[in-house]
Amino acid sequence: MRRLQRIWNSDVGYSFRTSPVAMGAALVAFLCVFFAVFAGWVAPHSPFDLATLDLADARLPPAWIAEGSAKFVLGTDDQGRDILSALMYGARISLAVGFASVILSVIIGVAFGLLAGFLGGWVDAALMRLCDVMLSFPAILVALLIAGVGRAVFPNAPDNLALGVLIVSITLTGWVQYARTVRGSTMVERNKEYVQAARVTGVTSLRIMRRHVLPNVMGPVLVLATIQVATAIITEATLSFLGVGAPPTSPSLGTLIRIGNDYLFSGEWWITIFPGLMLIVIALSVNLLGDWLRDALNPRLR
Amino acid sequence: MNTKQQPASGDALAAAPSDRQSAAVRTAAEPLLRVKDLVVEFPTRAGTLRALDKISFDIAPGEVLGVVGESGAGKSLTGAAIIGLLEPPGRIAGGEIVLEGQRIDNLDHEAMRHIRGRRIGAIFQDPLTSLNPLYSIGRQLIETIRTHLPMSEKAARARAIALLQDTGIPAAEQRIDHYPHQFSGGMRQRVVIALALAAEPKLIVADEPTTALDVSIQAQIIALLKKVCKDRGAAVMLITHDMGVIAETCDRVAVMYAGRIAEIGPVHEVINHPAHPYSAGLMAAIPDITIDRENLHQIDGAMPRLNAIPPGCAFNPRCERSMDRCGRERPELLSAGPTRAACWLHAAEAAT
Amino acid sequence: MALVQADDLAMSFDVSAPWLNRVIERTPRLLLHAVDGVSFEIEKGKTLALVGESGCGKSTVARLLVGLYEPTRGGFQFDGANAHATYQSAAGLQLRRRIQMIFQDPYASLNPRWVVEDIIGEPLTEHGLITDKATLRTRVEELLESVGLAAQDRIKYPHQFSGGQRQRISIARALATQPEFLVCDEPTSALDVSVQAQVLNIMKDLQRRLGLTYLFISHNLAVVRHVSDQVGVMYLGRLVELADKQELFANPRHPYTRMLLDAIPKMHDTGRARTPVQGEVPNPLSPPTGCAFHPRCPHANARCHDERPKMKMIAGVRIACHAAEENRI
């Protein structure tokens, strides 16, 4: 409790309190996450429970248009699934994949960056060349490649595996930016006198990296991670749209967009537009939060 | 030559009172720079902080005034306020700065830009960052000269070469086209001095000009600064924390504490017979290379932070000789013999 | 026997351009001889001060003595044993308990994310000297009080302290393992004068009480006069003069020492004219031949240009100068 109070009263907390954009973005993001996590309880329908679907409800427009019904606020898709509920379940997948890939990227990237920055020499050279190689692959291509290989190796893969492959492919190119940032900060901290003092005392390099340097280089990582959640969600949506991401049985927002795309020109715009809007709202709010965080943590602007 | 402004070397104590008096009279009559009740504030989210609290002092033409104090005392801020380079949100919140009879604290950017360089020159601490690494020093010198003085390119270049020779740069005709990274630290500081003098200002504000240099170079730069300013009759406001530099260069010195002036007077008086307990403590705390001492005198405690300045005299919680009055009323600069000190111990003297 | 005995200590850094550049541009390897053959002894309980200007190698000597670098030549004995061999071996941790260091920058020498208790307690836990939390806390409080801070300060973060207080925390950390030898790298250069006085007084006091031996690095000769017993003057990686403090300040023999003492602005000298030193410290990457000081020395002769002077004992003072040897000055 005291720690929370301290954060609230700190410079960063003050910056948050006085920034309507940050507070608004945080609220929106929180709401999205809330609905995604508690979709099972909050959603008015369960769109992926085949027993509750009724084809008679298919392709109903949103409630405020004629022919719509209040039962399905945002309309239904071609199989009678409620769009609003599908949004919530879809957001759940999108957010889960986004967060999971970011967390994995952070762990790998920070570890590599610390090692490269602290040990220097050939370790540094090797890891940085690896980064360069990873950067030369576009994320989508890597994901397509891995998904393709995955499908060939596990033709009857369950949904979870598909999501796992998705997370891995986004992580594979996402860790690089953390590694680079952390490497730079580590090289600065390595020469500071508190690190030298620890070495004089006889602390091993590994412990110095973990206990001394790591807490001091995490600042920029936080900012990057926040912004990368949005990027990861959009990448996942792209992959799903292309058909190599989340399967239709547990669709993410991207999958929903793809499904709805076919009906766009027959006039049933709501099937694709609402998932698209939801995607934009999530990505935008997370991006704005990340922007605010970067400025709040920047010592020069304080 | 303004010899009358400088006390005769070694005999400051024995100098006739009329000498100092005439200097004081002259200062009072036509000071080059007059700072009166200057207040500089910083609005923060925790309230407004007063970084400078009613500072007043004068600088006579050709005089070298030292401003000494520890970190947080406000000496760099004073220099910045005078040059007009206070970093926002800091701002001048009161008082006035008068240069040659004209008020300069309330001028707009454009007007201040003309004053800076032409009438006030500045020398900063770090010669590395004072010069633009992308342009040759000749280019920077000529640009400064031509901004303030109507001159052709050729004439400005000749003048720049003369300036470089004056500041002791060897082979000035060739080196004028060199870039800052081709000079060593001491040489760069000489170039910075040349830049400051380029438009013949009447006042030079030097903020820690020798702190970043080696000891042997320090001596050279100090001697150079003294010489070129004396030759041109320019006054110098020398801001530093190094009392040795002050002792060797300055005519008068102002000791600052917590945004106020604690004592101001002729340099050898302040050093040898400090009238303010803080000045006295400071002089006693400085290790002297000429004598051996078992323990250095220490002033317990630390300079108060800007948001925690005690009422009355800012130094009173740390002062061994504080009285009741010190905690209530803030003392003005009172006459204490040859110097003026902001201390109630001298109230009796002022009355007489 | 002296506690610390350095013998021809030397450290060179390879500052060559990367291999590819060297091959393409055909430039040779570039070695920076930061320390080039330094020998001295420090008796137990005494303070040796090393002074010099930038590039003279005094900070490198400090880091050599605490095992942050390995010398490229020579070495030093600590309490009779070869120190660098010990640093490499399993007994290295033991040695690090007995030798500690205080750094120059009070703002960078404490981890900003750690509380004071952890900072001071780290050497104790690292060496396994104290494992029980309560004992650790008591010891940390003891250490804080011994440097003039309050016991409750242990729960605070470094940014809540001033520069002088942080330096005291550094001293407390250095004393945690009860070392015998402290290497102090310009510990007061970044501090205000009045704070410097406090810290120097504490250091002298601790030396008296705990029988500590100090190696004190500084560029400020006035401070050196105050704290040292012996003074060594360094120039471009070499020791030029090594003498007892009184002797050095009363009778400086080496021309560089004389010029250095002369160059320092003095508070109580009444404006007498000084002859400032000519020239600047040369680039350490290409030091002058023979005696490193000869281009700036008023007494230099041909021998000074060709032959590097060795440290010799002349009139009770160790000095590396041909002119002094030949009795020309």
CB pair distance less than 8 Å for A194 and C108: yes
CATH of the domain at C142: 3.40.50.300
Tell me the HSE value of C108 on the side-chain side, using a 13 A CA sphere: 13
Domain hosting A95: range is 2-301
List the structure tokens of B84: 């007009």
Task: Provide the 10 A C-beta neighbour count for residue B196.
Answer: 28
Closest CA to B74 of B317, B248, B305: B305
Q: In the predicted model, what is the mean pLDDT of residues A168-185?
A: 90
What is the pLDDT confidence band of residue B45, given thresholds at 50, 70 and 90? confident
Looking at per-residue confidence, does C302 or A160 come out higher?
A: C302
CATH of the domain at A205: 1.10.3720.10
Q: Is the pLDDT of residue B17 over 50?
A: no
pLDDT for residue A109: 94
The partner residue sitting opposite C122, judged by closest CB among A196, A201, A216, is A201
pLDDT (tens digit per residue) in C187-227 = 998 888 888 888 999 999 999 999 999 999 998 888 998 89
The partner residue sitting opposite B285, judged by closest CB among C193, C220, C249, is C193
List the structure tokens of A63: 């409630």
Q: Is the pLDDT of residue A2 over 70?
A: no
| Residue pairs between chains A and C whose CB atoms are closer than 8 Å | 52
Strand order in the sheet with B102-103: B47-59, B33-44, B91-99, B102-103
What is the pLDDT confidence band of residue A6, given thresholds at 50, 70 and 90? low
Domain hosting C310: range is 237-264+285-329
Work out how many domains chain A is built from and give that number.
Answer: 1
The partner residue sitting opposite C96, judged by closest CB among A194, A200, A215, is A200
pLDDT for residue B292: 76
User: Which residues, at least 6 apart from B159, have a Cβ–Cβ distance to it below 8 Å?
Assistant: B145, B151, B198
Whether B241 and chain C come into contact, CB under 8 Å, resolves to yes
**Residues of B with Cβ-Cβ distance to C269 under 8 angstroms:** 247-248, 290
Rounded Cα–Cα distance for residues A11 and C111 (Å): 20
How close is the nearest chain A Cα to the Cα of C67, in Å?
7
Whether C258 and chain B come into contact, CB under 8 Å, resolves to no
Which of C207, C270, C293 is best to mutate for the B interface (most B CBs within 10 A)?
C270
Q: Is the pLDDT of residue A171 over 70?
A: yes
pLDDT (tens digit per residue) in C10-63 = 999 988 877 777 788 888 888 889 999 999 999 999 999 999 988 888 999 999
The answer to whether the beta carbons of residues B258 and B303 sit under 8 Å apart is: yes
Q: Give the neighbours of chain C: at least 3 Cβ pairs within 8 Å.
A: A, B
Whether B211 and chain C come into contact, CB under 8 Å, resolves to no
pLDDT (tens digit per residue) in C252-294 = 999 999 888 888 877 776 555 556 667 778 888 888 988 988 8
Q: In the predicted model, what is the mean pLDDT of residues A248-261?
A: 82
What is the pLDDT confidence band of residue B323, given thresholds at 50, 70 and 90? confident
Rounded Cα–Cα distance for residues A88 and A34 (Å): 9
pLDDT for residue B37: 92
The answer to whether the beta carbons of residues B187 and B105 sit under 8 Å apart is: no
The partner residue sitting opposite C112, judged by closest CB among A196, A197, A216, is A216
Closest CA to B76 of B186, B214, B211, B231: B211
Q: How far is CA B337 from CA B20, B187, B266, B325, B334, in A?
A: 12, 42, 11, 21, 9
pLDDT for residue C42: 93
CB pair distance less than 8 Å for C103 and A216: no
**Residues of A with Cβ-Cβ distance to C68 under 8 angstroms:** 196, 199-200
How close is the nearest chain B Cα to the Cα of C282, in Å?
10
**How is residue B125 annotated by DSSP?**
S
Task: Provide the 10 A C-beta neighbour count for residue C210.
Answer: 14
Residue B147: phi, psi to the nearest 5?
-65, -35
C215: left (phi over 0), alpha (psi -120 to 50) or beta: beta
E strand or H helix at B239, and its extent? Answer: strand B235-240
Tokens 């017979």 locate to: B273
Whether C151 and chain B come into contact, CB under 8 Å, resolves to no
Q: Is the pLDDT of residue C169 over 90?
A: yes
Hey, which bits of C174-254 come out as E strands? 181-185, 213-218, 230-235, 238-244
* Interface confidence (ipTM) of the complex: 0.86
How close is the nearest chain A Cα to the Cα of C119, in Å?
9
Q: How far is CA C184 from CA A55, C84, C214, C288, in A?
A: 83, 19, 7, 30
**How is residue A210 annotated by DSSP?**
I
Q: Is the pLDDT of residue B256 over 70?
A: yes
**Among residues 173-192 of chain B, which lie with CB inside 8 Å of chain C?**
184-187
Are C206 and C324 contained in the same domain?
no
How close is the nearest chain A Cα to the Cα of C230, in Å?
25
The partner residue sitting opposite B241, judged by closest CB among C193, C272, C276, is C193
Which of C47, C149, C194, C216 is best to mutate for the B interface (most B CBs within 10 A)?
C194
Q: Kindly tell me the number of DSSP H helices and DSSP E strands found in chain C.
A: 13, 12
Q: Is the pLDDT of residue B295 over 60?
A: yes
**Residues of A with Cβ-Cβ distance to C177 under 8 angstroms:** 201
**Residues of B with Cβ-Cβ distance to C270 under 8 angstroms:** 9-12, 268
**Residues of B with Cβ-Cβ distance to C263 under 8 angstroms:** 215-216, 218-219
CB pair distance less than 8 Å for B295 and C162: no
Q: What is the CATH number of domain B16-269?
A: 3.40.50.300
pLDDT for residue C276: 61
Closest CA to A185 of A134, A154, A152, A224: A224
How close is the nearest chain C Cα to the Cα of A225, in Å?
21
CB pair distance less than 8 Å for C194 and B216: no
pLDDT (tens digit per residue) in B104-122 = 888 888 888 888 878 898 9
Residue C232: phi, psi to the nearest 5?
-120, 130
pLDDT for residue B14: 43
CB pair distance less than 8 Å for A200 and C67: yes
Rounded Cα–Cα distance for residues C70 and B208 (Å): 37
User: What is the three-class DSSP state of B277?
Assistant: helix
Q: Is the pLDDT of residue B19 over 70?
A: no
CB pair distance less than 8 Å for C92 and A202: yes
Residue C185: phi, psi to the nearest 5?
-95, 95
User: Which residues, at least 6 apart from A13, have a Cβ–Cβ distance to it below 8 Å?
Assistant: A7
Looking at per-residue confidence, does A61 or A199 come out higher?
A: A199
Looking at per-residue confidence, does A293 or B270 come out higher?
A: B270
CB pair distance less than 8 Å for B288 and C198: no
Looking at per-residue confidence, does B29 or A247 come out higher?
A: A247
Q: Is the pLDDT of residue B65 over 90?
A: yes
Task: Provide the 10 A C-beta neighbour count for residue A88.
Answer: 24
Does C130 fall in a domain?
yes
Q: In the predicted model, what is the mean pLDDT of residues A51-77?
A: 76
pLDDT for residue B3: 41
Q: Is the pLDDT of residue B8 over 50?
A: no
pLDDT (tens digit per residue) in B146-170 = 988 888 999 999 999 999 998 888 8
pLDDT for residue C297: 87
- In terms of CA atoms, which chain C residue is nearest residue A219? C113
**Residues of A with Cβ-Cβ distance to C189 under 8 angstroms:** none
Q: Is the pLDDT of residue A181 over 70?
A: yes
pLDDT (tens digit per residue) in C103-112 = 999 989 999 8
Rounded Cα–Cα distance for residues B277 and B280 (Å): 5
CB pair distance less than 8 Å for B271 and C268: yes
Strand order in the sheet with C213-218: C99-102, C181-185, C213-218, C47-51, C230-235, C238-244, C317-319, C312-314
User: What's the whole-number average pLDDT of chain C?
Assistant: 88
Range scoring the smallest mean pLDDT among A239-248, B195-204, C134-143:
A239-248
**Residues of C with Cβ-Cβ distance to B217 under 8 angstroms:** 280
With a pLDDT cut of 90, the percent of chain A lying above it is 19
Work out how many domains chain C is built from and give that number.
Answer: 2
Closest CA to A260 of A243, A275, A239: A275
Binding-site residues on chain C for chain A (CB distance < 8 A): 63, 66-68, 92-93, 96-97, 99-101, 103-105, 108-114, 119, 122-123, 126-127, 170, 173, 177
Each domain of chain B, given as residue ranges in start order, spans 16-269, 277-289+297-351
User: Which residues, at least 6 apart from B44, have a Cβ–Cβ distance to it below 8 Å?
Assistant: B89
Are C243 and C144 contained in the same domain?
no
**Residues of C with Cβ-Cβ distance to B15 under 8 angstroms:** none
The partner residue sitting opposite A200, judged by closest CB among C100, C104, C114, is C100
Closest CA to C200 of C222, C179, C173: C222
Q: Kindly tell me the number of DSSP H helices and DSSP E strands found in chain A.
A: 13, 0
CB pair distance less than 8 Å for B244 and C266: yes
Strands B252-257 and B260-266: antiparallel
The answer to whether the beta carbons of residues B220 and C276 sit under 8 Å apart is: yes
CB pair distance less than 8 Å for B247 and C200: no
Are C8 and C124 contained in the same domain?
yes
